[in-house]
Amino acid sequence: VQLQASGGGLVQAGGSLRLACAASGRIASINAMEWYRQVPGKERDLVASITTGGATNYAESVKGRFTISSNDAKNTVYLQMNSLKPEDTAVYYCAAEYTEWGDTVVVGRHWGQGTQVTVSS
């Protein structure tokens, strides 16, 4: 699975951005799509996820402000970010959790390249 993220940029506090992540390759193996973010010196944290069944999950810090959605026809997942705060500044990564069924079951995660989101105060 290959993931191509886009949509980052610079925005003022209170503004909005929409990130997109286009998936290609072995799409059928994907269980869920996820957005993570990371700031220098800290761990990569889960921001939001959406399963192939449409169930969503959000970090407490973004609930009510961020919305994850998918366009299955385009194999693309979006992260709509509203009411952005300076503390949302990070590199955002999309990821695809997958399962490969064979003689052994392999569960893993593919990563896209990061996209920088900077929120100025």
Two structure tokens written together for 28: 């059928």
pLDDT along the chain (121 residues), means of 10: 95 98 90 96 97 96 98 92 98 95 90 96 93
Report the pLDDT value the prediction gives residue 101, as an integer from 0 to 100.
Answer: 86
Report the pLDDT value the prediction gives residue 28, as an integer from 0 to 100.
Answer: 86
Report the pLDDT value the prediction gives residue 20, as an integer from 0 to 100.
Answer: 98
- The residues near 34 (Cβ < 8 Å, ≥ 6 apart) are 46, 47, 48, 49, 50, 94, 95, 96, 97, 109
Report the pLDDT value the prediction gives residue 17, as an integer from 0 to 100.
Answer: 98
**Burial status of residue 2 (CB atoms within 10 A of its CB: 0-12, 13-18, 19 or more):** exposed
